[in-house]
């Protein structure tokens, strides 16, 4: 079972591999009339069989129910595509199948087939479905899927010029914990129906080989994300890989010292959020300082997940910074700044979320925003040991990479690689330009 969805019906699981991938149509055809929809849904052997008559009131009630579930049916199918759940035995799954796929017989699913025929006008056509879901990318992993997910996200960053266009949109689905062959084949069968690309990180060589053969059999494009790197490392160090997934119960020592260190860092960081408990600043590995809404908290949590104990201290006009901040090792402290226009937009959204945007407040006024940033810049200038990072237009991961790089450079008291020395002044000491 994948994603909590119900298993596919037996006729679909036993179907022959698709002859080719489905091509999306350019536009949707007009909805057929109820009479044509009913006739088209009947199998060749059942064309002369009329549906059982219904009382007038029952027919009207059924028609109303079908109209009422039209939008729900569309939402359900769209959500299934976005979340990676398998579509059950409904007409959307049948419409995705190639023409050569055998249809379920009335004796196996009599009511489902009839209901599908009556609800023909509620389906999304190919063009609508592609517009909602985009091109599907399946990420299959025998563990948490972290490696596959981040690798795909990094690769998608090379297509930002294209992804903004609706015709070039993609929809990623993560299938984690795939550790047996049956579940693996279900995922690949579903990928064949949706014309998806399969990218997998499977440590077990037999599972990886089975994935490759199954994808070739069903005509699904696929790539092994993990295997080339593993083989390169094995050749380099001269040791064969174990082939055991990291999540396997047979692995020893899963709860390592690094794991507990990360848990402790997250606990510490949450307790030190927004200037709380300044007496513990000396225990922090990294201290972030900046005005409100410069991303101190999310950056702190992200760094904590990497194992760093992080505290963040807000700069507020009229409020002195805690004395403990100037008594600790100044190499730990990092300033954050941002472009005033971007900061004002963020604060306006924040104020609206909190519900006080209509009240008298200078929190999101440009004059006040600039005044706060100038006050922060004065503090940064008085403390030249603090690297100041402009977060404008940067993802949390990018800012965290700069912080970690400078932190380790200072901790090890060694020179950075030459390329880092050239990049660092641009990425770090940019508070005067506002980011």
Q: Which residues on neighbouring strands pair with residue 201, listed in sequence order?
A: 141
The number of C-alpha atoms within 13 Å of 261 and in the hemisphere containing its C-beta is: 8
Asked whether 300 and 273 are in contact (CB, 8 A), the reply is yes
Q: How confident is the model at residue 351 (pLDDT cuts 50, 70, 90)?
A: confident
Beta-carbon-side half-sphere exposure of residue 365 (alpha carbons within 13 Å): 8
pLDDT of residue 163: 64
Helix axis angle for 366-382 and 340-354, nearest 10°, is: 120
- pLDDT > 60? residue 243: yes
**Cβ(85)–Cβ(186) below 8 Å:** no
24-33, 133-142, 225-234, 375-384 — which is least confidently predicted?
24-33
Among residues 190, 185, 188, 197, the alpha carbon closest in space to that of 159 is found at 197
Mean pLDDT, residues 190-199: 95
Query: Using 50, 70 and 90 to split pLDDT, how confident is the model at 350?
Result: confident
Q: What is the pLDDT of residue 185?
A: 95
For residues 200 and 225, the answer to whether their CB atoms sit within 8 Å is yes
Cβ burial, residue 98 (10 Å; 0-12/13-18/19+): middle
Give the integer Cα–Cα distance in Å for 22 and 97. 8
Pick from 10-24, 229-243, 304-318, 331-345: least confident: 10-24
- Is the predicted pLDDT of residue 153 greater than 60, yes or no? yes
Distance CA 265, CA 277 (A): 15
Enumerate the β-bridge partners of residue 389: 336
pLDDT computed for residue 54 by the predictor: 47
Q: Any idea which residue has 């040991």 for tokens?
A: 385
Q: Which domains does the chain have, with CATH numbers?
A: 70-125 (no CATH), 134-237 (3.40.50.2300), 258-433 (3.40.50)
- Alpha-carbon distance of 122 to 100, in angstroms, equals 24
Lowest mean pLDDT across 38-42, 230-234, 359-363: 38-42
% of the chain beyond a pLDDT of 90: 49
**How many angstroms separate the CA atoms of 158 and 136, rounded?**
17
DSSP 326-337: HHS-GGGEEEEE
User: Is the pLDDT at 133 greater than 80, yes or no?
Assistant: no
Q: State the pLDDT confidence band at 356, using cuts at 50, 70 and 90.
A: confident
Helix axes 257-271, 296-305, angle to 10 degrees: 160
Residue 43, pLDDT above cutoff 60: no
pLDDT, one tens digit per residue, over 296-314 is 999 999 999 999 999 999 9
Residue-level pLDDT at 244 = 86
The answer to whether the pTM exceeds 0.75 is: no
Structure tokens at 183: 């579940």
- Range name among 40-44, 199-203, 365-369 with the lowest pLDDT average: 40-44
Query: Within 252-395, where are the H helices?
Result: 257-271, 296-305, 324-327, 340-354, 366-382
Question: Average per-residue pLDDT in the chain?
Answer: 73
Mean pLDDT, residues 352-364? 75
DSSP 172: E
321: Cα separation from own chain's centroid: 38
Top pLDDT among 60 and 360 is at 360
- CA–chain centroid gap for 63, Å, is 39
pLDDT confidence tier of residue 40, bands split at 50, 70 and 90 = very low
**Does the pLDDT value for residue 64 go beyond 50?**
no
Higher-confidence residue: 133 or 363? 363
């Amino acid at each position: 079972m994948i994603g909590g969805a119900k298993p596919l019906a037996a006729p679909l699981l036993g179907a022959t591999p698709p002859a080719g991938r489905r091509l999306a149509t350019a536009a949707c055809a007009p909805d057929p009339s109820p009479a044509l929809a009913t006739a088209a849904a009947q199998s060749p052997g059942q064309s002369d069989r009329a549906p059982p008559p219904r009382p007038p009131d029952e027919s009207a009630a059924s028609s109303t129910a079908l109209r009422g579930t039209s939008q729900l049916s569309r939402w359900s199918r769209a959500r299934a595509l976005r979340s990676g759940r398998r579509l059950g035995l409904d007409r959307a799954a049948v419409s995705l199948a190639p023409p050569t796929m055998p249809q379920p017989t009335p004796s196996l699913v009599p009511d489902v087939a009839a209901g599908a025929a009556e609800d023909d006008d509620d389906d999304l056509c190919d063009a609508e479905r592609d517009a909602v879901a985009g091109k599907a990318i399946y990420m299959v992993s025998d563990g948490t899927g972290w490696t596959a997910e981040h690798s795909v996200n990094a690769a998608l960053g090379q297509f930002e010029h294209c992804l903004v266009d609706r015709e070039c949109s993609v929809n990623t689905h993560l299938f984690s914990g795939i550790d047996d062959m049956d579940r693996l084949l279900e995922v690949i069968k579903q990928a064949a129906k949706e014309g998806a690309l399969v990218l997998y990180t499977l440590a077990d060589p037999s599972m990886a080989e089975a994935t490759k053969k199954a994808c070739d059999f069903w005509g699904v494009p696929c790539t092994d994300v993990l295997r080339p790197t593993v083989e390169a490392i094995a050749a380099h160090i001269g040791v064969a890989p174990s082939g055991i997934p990291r999540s396997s119960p047979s692995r020893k020592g899963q709860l390592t010292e690094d794991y507990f260190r990360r848990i402790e860092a997250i606990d510490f960081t949450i307790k030190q959020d927004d200037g709380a408990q300044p007496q513990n600043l000396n225990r922090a590995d990294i201290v972030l300082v900046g005005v409100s809404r410069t991303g101190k908290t999310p950056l702190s949590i992200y760094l904590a997940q990497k194992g760093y104990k992080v505290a963040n201290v807000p700069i507020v006009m009229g409020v002195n910074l805690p004395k403990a901040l100037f008594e600790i090792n100044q190499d730990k402290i990092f300033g954050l700044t941002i472009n005033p226009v971007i900061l004002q937009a963020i604060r306006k959204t924040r104020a609206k979320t909190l519900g006080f945007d209509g009240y008298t407040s200078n929190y999101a006024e440009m004059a006040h925003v600039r005044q706060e940033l100038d006050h922060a810049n004065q503090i940064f200038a008085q403390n030249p040991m603090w690297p100041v990072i402009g977060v404008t237009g940067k993802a949390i991961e990018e800012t965290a990479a700069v912080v970690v790089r400078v932190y380790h450079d200072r901790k090890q008291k060694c020179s950075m690689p030459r390329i880092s020395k050239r990049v660092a002044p641009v990425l770090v000491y940019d508070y005067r330009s506002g980011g």
